[in-house]
Amino acid sequence: MTTAAAAGTWKLGDVTVNRMGFGAMRITANPDRSVAIAVLRRALELGVDHIDTAAFYASPGGTLQVGEGEKRYASELIREALAPYPDGLTITTKVGPGEDPERGFYNATTAGELREQVETNLRQLGVDSLDVVNLRIMKKPGEDSITERFGWLAELRDEGLIRQLGVSNVRIDHIEEALAIAPVVCVQNSYAVDQRRDEDALISFCADHGIAYVPFFAIAGSSREGGATTDHSAAVEAIATAHSLTPQQVRLAWTLNHSPNILAIPGTGNPTHLEQNITAAALTLTPEELATLD
């Protein structure tokens, strides 16, 4: 049986995790709560020791919709399925985007708003300290310094509410700003074999600084929050056919083969898709196949 360990490991700050992890954004897409719980538990059985989530990941499908009936929050499902959490499990979450009954979906811009979001994450996950918190920003060219916001999170880390820090949706200059304040253990950006390939320089920058690069939408591609794309390149399709794989497995294999500091976090609420994703941890592409995909 293939487990997440087949992908190898990376040092996420002061913890070592398997490079194949699990993203919780899609876990709420399954209307059957018991299946969602089973998928999370099965992920750990298959060696996953790194789960990515956020307080604003809610049904349906992980995309927050304010005022539309009862929501299932991914982090609450994680707590129900996995608490008390086993030793060695790292749960990464993020702040910046948030939910407010009056404002709806908003972006935190004050120290108080970020503290409130951290406390919401603590409450949903049922922990006293968050393993890793990423500052997720909305980029505005020329006017999007993260120094102040990242500094506020560093203060919460000093208080013991957060153990380690990361950043999301950022450029190299943002990472440099953050590193001047506190260690950065991971960077989460949108990236896939056919999307955002201008990120390659940023991935190398992260590798040189011992920072994990954690791509989201590696399977979704251009479908983004809509789930796994069906719009695959001819190269992806051809390699999948040659090896009797799914295109999604090829996309994940390329992701993991592309750089040793990349951590994959494919997400699903489907038990079969979970097994297929984990199997990709053991897939090795030839140099010729990698060159074709590149």
Which residues are identified as catalytic?
57
CA distance 277 to 4: 9
Cα dist from 290 to 59, 76, 215, 258, whole Å: 36, 39, 18, 8
CA distance 16 to 55: 24
CA distance 61 to 227: 8
- Strand order across the beta sheet in which 212-216 lies: 22-23, 50-52, 90-95, 130-136, 162-168, 186-190, 212-216
Distance of CA 62 to the CA centre of its chain: 12
Place of tokens 């390329």: 254
- What is the three-state SS of 74-128? HHHHHHHHHCCCCCCCEEEEEECEEEECCCEEEECCCHHHHHHHHHHHHHHHCCC
Q: What phi and psi values does residue 223 have, to the nearest 5 degrees?
A: -75, -20
User: Please, what's the b/e burial string for 137-151 (b: 16 or more CB within 10 A of its CB; e: otherwise)?
Assistant: beeeeeeeebeebbe
What's 58's DSSP letter?
B
Structure tokens at 173: 């200059």
